[in-house]
Structure 1
Amino acid sequence: MREKLVVLACVWFVLYGSCLGRFVVEKNSLKVTSPDSLKDVYECAIGNFGVPEYGGTMVGSVYYPKSNQKACKSFEDVDVSLKKKPGGIPIFLLADRGECYFTLKAWNAQNGGAAAILVADDRVEPLITMDNPEEEDARADYLQNITIPSALITKELGDKIKKELSKGGMVNINLDWTEALPHPDERVEYELWTNSNDECGPKCDRQLDFIRSFKGAAQILEQKGYTQFAPHYITWYCPEAFTLSKQCKSQCINHGRYCAPDPEEDFSKGYDGKDVVVQNLRQACFFKVANESGKPWQWWDYVTDFSIRCPMKEKKYTKECADQVIKSLGVDIKKIDECIGDTEADVDNPILKAEQESQIGKGSRGDVTILPTLVVNNRQYRGKLDKGAVLKAICAGFEETTEPDICLSRDMQTNECLENNGGCWQDKAANITACRDTFRGRVCECPIVQGVKFSGDGYTHCEASGALRCEINNGGCWKGTKDGRTYSACIDDHTKGCKCPPGFKGDGVNSCEDIDECKDKLACQCPECKCKNTWGSYECSCSGNLLYMHEHDTCISKATSTEYSWSFVWVIILGLAVSGVAGYALYKYRIRRYMDSEIRAIMAQYMPLDNQGEEPDHMHHVQGPHVQGPHVHNV
């Protein structure tokens, strides 16, 4: 990808008589502090990976291994640990160029414990910029995890350091980035050369990740006037002899004036290069319109939301999708369309023409040929595109003692949700919003309210789902009250649908209309029945001296009903009377027999009865008026 862009840019430069291009190798200062024989200040080239210490310095002692001198293997079994010992000086690993990628050397040095890596060139030449692997090798997991700074030194300096170390000497170095970026005043001007294409592999993915993560910091810096930011887009010019070719037609707009590579590198499928150019132009025009309205920081919102809502993979990389994003941010679509103009016309586009002119380096800044490229105070940033690393570089661009608080603390609040709800979904009636402020800027995510999860894209819609969802804004369903009755279309279970209740018809979300059961002959169907429609229901009655029976949907005579009722009552009364008489008779018979039996048993203890024989005199002896009989037990 990177080589192709350089070649394509060179095609454009040819038309203006400058095929060479002016790529500037960004450098920092390397000062050898010992031994005396090497004391001096040297230049070294900053690597395009890792985290350069912009604005700072780092002191270390150089170590050159006896084996694995090109650092293409792990240093786990190295004879001397590269890790800094307590109270000791950090170790700078010196490695030779060759055999493997610069990034792999840095990764092995970092894992071994080195604080920085110095790569000695293997040939006599001007310093070059050490870069990431090309596209086919750029998917290595470690690339974004490199955090140590790196520097390329000349072969001459490398040989001198090795010679001193071979004699048992110690070489101490001070890496100095304080002048790597200009820092003239209280405001930093920076620009990001980027691309709307999201199908160019790992580099596009990392670019989008950076934009999303850096958005919050960028917007705070811009809103408070600490920085002046501008986005830019690389295009090239198709030579006039090829404007009618299939390649130029599919990759260029305005008759070959502005071109971009085909995203899939296949002209027969997917989106074309001209689609990328148009979207790039739309993003540039969005920034122009937002900047004219005094809100240039909205560009970060648009680019972030567009990448989420309108990806190429989902076939949403279109004007329609882009317009939805623009509308959600409250920016005038007509002004942006006017800025874009007619992409089929054989005329210059003012925006893209200015972009092509800006690609050419001016002053200390070289030509922009790499995507992405960050330029701070007219100096190209080197190092990985990481939120913390870039913020450090921007802060290094302020005049000393004028740095804003954000450079001293990362505890920021963006408060983007306070304006236009951040372009996210919201339910004003229920005071529910999908907008949430974070350090990385606002995000549009459907919320969880009172334990109820809302689902949706967070931008255009969110709806409650799961149990208890009807308690939150009635689950987003219709609800109505009339004549003292309330009906709801929300189903309070684990579903998330809306269904009009019985007696109503409609979509259940926006409306439910009362069904006139009487008009449609859905109720009160008996010949004598009369039907009266009510809201959500109906009432049935009968004409004349008739009574309506709801269970059978029929009318019966009130007199018949009354006669039937009194007959039923008399049957019940007669039954109760018979039951009473029978009970009394049973009582009389059973109780009387029982009592007679008991009385006879008692009296038999004191006097002979008719049915008993006479007992001998010695069994009952009467003495005066007192009679003493046996004890009586209650059984």
Structure 2
Amino acid sequence: MGLRRSDSAARLFLGFLVLSMAPLSIHARFVVEKNSLRVTSPDRIRGTYDSAIGNFGIPQYGGSMAGNVVYPKDNQKGCKEFSDYKITFESKPGALPTFVLVDRGDCFFALKVWNAQRAGASAVLVADDMAEALITMDSPEEDGSTAKYIENITIPSALIEKSFGETLKKAYNSGEMVNVNLDWREAVPHPDDRVEYELWTNSNDECGVKCDMLMEFVKDFKGAAQILEKGGYTQFTPHYITWYCPEAFTLSKQCKSQCINHGRYCAPDPEQDFSTGYEGKDVVLENLRQLCVFKVANDSKKPWVWWDYVTDFQIRCPMKEKKYNKECANAVIQSLGLDVKSIEKCMGDADADSDNRVLKEEQDAQVGKGSRGDVTILPTLVVNNRQYRGKLEKGAVLKAICSGFEETTDPAVCLSGDVETNECLENNGGCWRDKSANLTACKDTFRGRVCECPLVDGVQFKGDGYTTCEASGPGRCKINNGGCWHEARNGHAYSACTDNGEVKCKCPPGFKGDGVNSCTDIDECKERKACQCPECSCKNTWGSYECSCGGELLYIRDHDACISKTATRETRSAWAAVWIILIGLAMAAGGAYLVYKYRLRSYMDSEIRAIMAQYMPLDSQAEVPNHVNEEQRA
């Protein structure tokens, strides 16, 4: 049983490290997030009662759920699978969802909910076994036996007081129909048209299931978070938990390895092993760097860059690859266009025996204010100063954030497929639907389903969304072929849809019919007397026809005639000879023209020289005597 002295010291220090949360835990205020549970029948217990939202599963933030309460005869604490007792809570088509009421005790809250979910329950109410104030049902520490179901709980759950639970059981056991409505619409307040939310996170990627879950959430939620932030719909702030080292241990080896600024800001050793791997102070420094990345990016009016840095750092600088260091972090910072020096200035001196301004603010922020309790658990999400209860998963978190907006101020991302209520799954939500094209006007939003005619491939449908939706504008033939006939066979496809400013259904050439319900193939061989030449034979095909000739004959479709393939070759040879002769004649004519032009020019030159010689002697001729001058001299 004996422990080595170093192990004992390490564990003793960890114990003091937990106790060092005294300002947070001894006087901590853990606020229980409540929602409204209203009983609608029987009349004698009708009214509104408090319930506490479970810290797992997916609460229906921004909405409500009505259902029938069922209290099982067996397995009333829900600690075993209901299938062992041949119990099912599946709702029949058209029936209200089933709210399973189970008793507290003997097993984890999450296990009770998981067993009820597997049996078909839509929600779970857990009746307290003690007369006490409501508490938040938390999930157990994840290990091999619990991780397999905690992450898969998708139904909401709530804890109710013992007295209220007894009232529901009595009404159900007496044969009365117990109808309730669980309301989450006020679980997240919406004071203005912008939602403020914060995520308490950690840069450590070696803490097991919790860290893996957090890292995956950040990667998945990044896109939606940046859209909300860029649009000015939200104000996001990241936070990081740190602890201080008890003064008596400030100079100890363990404290020096886990803390900066002389024990003021500490984090547990990532591997929980003081002799190998990374140290707690490495985590504190990276947490501080990520805070400063946010502050520098925020000063540049680009706070959403924090999401890029955190996700890139996870990928490029993991602990497992020994890249969790300053050099790798700076490479990520530079790739995002941030100023490394500004971030280092923000981080300050980790060896100084003084407060770090950034981390001091973080420790102050851990203390609960207003309606928000103290932050003691990682990860923690706070929306509009209310602590989020539920699964850390993109759709669930987005639903909680979207419920913080006033109606009519919801951003488009809140009306996207990322937030679903699943109301469109049953009877298409009562909205218009085109089964042949698999189109629907039903849209799931965090407030419930809406019936709006869809926009598909650039084509807007118009109508009331309930009974009619019709395609309008160009490109309508791309959507279900404009409602016209279409068919494909053997790699050939035909459509009767034409769109020349107005969609019409007209059978294409080779077919006949109304163009809407049917277009049948025309037998051109019989009905249009195709291939009429004596040697021709006609074969009808789908949408067309084929003509052929027997033996050595070749069919010429333009002339509806058969000609000999040999004659065709002879004709080609004859034409080749003709072309050769024509080319030869053209060349002879060209040569004759050149000779003619040369002789003509020579003749003209001689004539011109003779004429000019009569008036002025040329260098090559003797001077002609001037008879006029001789007579004058005589």
Tell me the TM-score range normalised by the shorter chain. Answer: 0.5 to 0.7
Aligned residue for 2:344, secondary structure, equals: helix
The answer as to whether partners of 1:27 and 1:46 remain within 8 angstroms in 2 is yes
**Match of residue 371, structure 2, among 343, 361, 364:** 364
Residues 1:201 and 2:201 aligned together: no
The answer as to whether partners of 1:283 and 1:299 remain within 8 angstroms in 2 is yes
Q: 1:44 to 1:9 in 2, by over 3 A?
A: farther
Residues 1:408 and 2:415 aligned together: yes
Could you tell me how far apart the structure 2 residues matched to 1:88 and 1:73 are? Answer: 26
Q: CA deviation at 1:328?
A: 1.1
Identify the residue that residue 66 of structure 1 maps to in structure 2. Answer: 73
The answer as to whether partners of 2:61 and 2:399 remain within 8 angstroms in 1 is yes
Residues 1:180 and 2:201 aligned together: no
The answer as to whether partners of 2:62 and 2:184 remain within 8 angstroms in 1 is yes
* Matching of residues 18-33 of structure 1 within 5 Å: 19-33=26-40
* Matching of residues 294-309 of structure 1 within 5 Å: 294-309=301-316
Identify the residue that residue 506 of structure 1 maps to in structure 2. Answer: none
**Amino-acid identity (%):** 69
**Match of residue 373, structure 1, among 368, 380, 384:** 380
Range with greater deviation from structure 2 (218-227 or 107-116): 107-116
**Which AA in structure 1 matches 2:20?**
V
Aligned residue for 1:228, secondary structure, equals: strand
Could you tell me how far apart the structure 1 residues matched to 2:165 and 2:255 are? Answer: 47
Q: CA deviation at 1:347?
A: 1.2
**Which AA in structure 2 matches 1:172?**
N
* Matching of residues 564-603 of structure 1 within 5 Å: none
Aligned residue for 1:33, secondary structure, equals: strand
Identify the residue that residue 237 of structure 1 maps to in structure 2. Answer: 244
Could you tell me how far apart the structure 2 residues matched to 1:247 and 1:139 are? Answer: 32
**Match of residue 116, structure 2, among 109, 120, 141:** 109
The answer as to whether partners of 2:128 and 2:162 remain within 8 angstroms in 1 is yes
Matched residue count: 407
The answer as to whether partners of 2:33 and 2:52 remain within 8 angstroms in 1 is yes
> For residues 482-520 of structure 1, what are the alpha-carbon distances to aligned partners after superposition, in whole Å with 9 as ceiling and x for unaligned?
xxxxxxxxxxxxxxxxxxxxxxxxxxxxxxxxxxxxxxx
Could you tell me how far apart the structure 2 residues matched to 1:135 and 1:76 are? Answer: 24
> For residues 189-244 of structure 1, what are the alpha-carbon distances to aligned partners after superposition, in whole Å with 9 as ceiling and x for unaligned?
00000000111110111011000000000000000100000000001122222211
Identify the residue that residue 11 of structure 1 maps to in structure 2. Answer: 20
Residues 1:167 and 2:167 aligned together: no
Aligned residue for 1:390, secondary structure, equals: helix
Q: CA deviation at 1:141?
A: 1.8
Q: CA deviation at 1:327?
A: 1.2
Aligned residue for 1:62, secondary structure, equals: strand
Aligned residue for 1:145, secondary structure, equals: coil
**Which AA in structure 1 matches 2:53?**
I
Identify the residue that residue 275 of structure 1 maps to in structure 2. Answer: 282
Could you tell me how far apart the structure 2 residues matched to 1:233 and 1:388 are? Answer: 23
Identify the residue that residue 457 of structure 1 maps to in structure 2. Answer: none
Residues 1:40 and 2:47 aligned together: yes
Aligned residue for 1:76, secondary structure, equals: helix
> For residues 560-614 of structure 1, what are the alpha-carbon distances to aligned partners after superposition, in whole Å with 9 as ceiling and x for unaligned?
xxxxxxxxxxxxxxxxxxxxxxxxxxxxxxxxxxxxxxxxxxxxxxxxxxxxxxx
Q: 1:103 to 1:31 in 2, by over 3 A?
A: same
**Which AA in structure 2 matches 1:104?**
L
**Match of residue 399, structure 1, among 393, 406, 411:** 406
Could you tell me how far apart the structure 2 residues matched to 1:370 and 1:25 are? Answer: 14
Identify the residue that residue 269 of structure 2 maps to in structure 1. Answer: 262
Could you tell me how far apart the structure 2 residues matched to 1:11 and 1:40 are? Answer: 45
Q: CA deviation at 1:389?
A: 0.4
**Which AA in structure 2 matches 1:204?**
C
The answer as to whether partners of 2:194 and 2:232 remain within 8 angstroms in 1 is yes
**Match of residue 156, structure 2, among 149, 152, 165:** 149
Q: Report the RMSD for the aligned CA atoms in angstroms.
A: 2.0
Could you tell me how far apart the structure 2 residues matched to 1:347 and 1:188 are? Answer: 35
Q: CA deviation at 1:70?
A: 1.3
The answer as to whether partners of 2:197 and 2:383 remain within 8 angstroms in 1 is yes
Identify the residue that residue 221 of structure 2 maps to in structure 1. Answer: 214
Q: 1:71 to 1:307 in 2, by over 3 A?
A: same
Identify the residue that residue 388 of structure 1 maps to in structure 2. Answer: 395
Residues 1:251 and 2:251 aligned together: no
Could you tell me how far apart the structure 2 residues matched to 1:7 and 1:208 are? Answer: 28
Aligned residue for 1:95, secondary structure, equals: strand
The answer as to whether partners of 1:10 and 1:21 remain within 8 angstroms in 2 is no
Q: CA deviation at 1:7?
A: 8.7
Q: CA deviation at 1:410?
A: 3.8
Q: CA deviation at 1:128?
A: 1.3
Q: CA deviation at 1:10?
A: 5.7
Aligned residue for 1:230, secondary structure, equals: strand
Q: 1:6 to 1:286 in 2, by over 3 A?
A: farther
Q: TM-score, normalised by structure 1?
A: 0.62
The answer as to whether partners of 2:16 and 2:246 remain within 8 angstroms in 1 is no
Q: 1:66 to 1:381 in 2, by over 3 A?
A: same
Could you tell me how far apart the structure 2 residues matched to 1:138 and 1:409 are? Answer: 35
> For residues 223-273 of structure 1, what are the alpha-carbon distances to aligned partners after superposition, in whole Å with 9 as ceiling and x for unaligned?
010000000000112222221122211111000110111111111111111
Q: 1:5 to 1:369 in 2, by over 3 A?
A: farther
Q: 1:231 to 1:9 in 2, by over 3 A?
A: farther
Q: CA deviation at 1:169?
A: 1.6
Identify the residue that residue 596 of structure 2 maps to in structure 1. Answer: none
The answer as to whether partners of 1:11 and 1:19 remain within 8 angstroms in 2 is no
Could you tell me how far apart the structure 2 residues matched to 1:370 and 1:186 are? Answer: 29
The answer as to whether partners of 1:46 and 1:129 remain within 8 angstroms in 2 is yes
**Match of residue 90, structure 2, among 51, 64, 83:** 83
* Matching of residues 233-632 of structure 1 within 5 Å: 233-410=240-417
Q: 1:276 to 1:105 in 2, by over 3 A?
A: same
Q: Find the structure with the greater CA-based Rg.
A: 1
The answer as to whether partners of 2:34 and 2:51 remain within 8 angstroms in 1 is yes
The answer as to whether partners of 1:5 and 1:370 remain within 8 angstroms in 2 is no
> For residues 535-566 of structure 1, what are the alpha-carbon distances to aligned partners after superposition, in whole Å with 9 as ceiling and x for unaligned?
xxxxxxxxxxxxxxxxxxxxxxxxxxxxxxxx
Could you tell me how far apart the structure 1 residues matched to 2:255 and 2:329 are? Answer: 25
Q: CA deviation at 1:140?
A: 2.1
**Which AA in structure 1 matches 2:241?**
I
Q: CA deviation at 1:9?
A: 6.6
Could you tell me how far apart the structure 1 residues matched to 2:249 and 2:219 are? Answer: 38
> For residues 63-89 of structure 1, what are the alpha-carbon distances to aligned partners after superposition, in whole Å with 9 as ceiling and x for unaligned?
111111111222225455311111111
Could you tell me how far apart the structure 1 residues matched to 2:88 and 2:103 are? Answer: 19
The answer as to whether partners of 2:398 and 2:418 remain within 8 angstroms in 1 is no
The answer as to whether partners of 1:26 and 1:46 remain within 8 angstroms in 2 is yes
Which structure 1 segments of 5+ residues have no match?
Answer: 413-635
**Which AA in structure 2 matches 1:296?**
P
Identify the residue that residue 510 of structure 1 maps to in structure 2. Answer: none
Could you tell me how far apart the structure 2 residues matched to 1:138 and 1:207 are? Answer: 20
Could you tell me how far apart the structure 1 residues matched to 2:16 and 2:176 are? Answer: 46
Which structure 2 segments of 5+ residues have no match?
Answer: 1-12, 420-634
Identify the residue that residue 158 of structure 1 maps to in structure 2. Answer: 165
Q: 1:146 to 1:315 in 2, by over 3 A?
A: same
Could you tell me how far apart the structure 2 residues matched to 1:55 and 1:301 are? Answer: 29
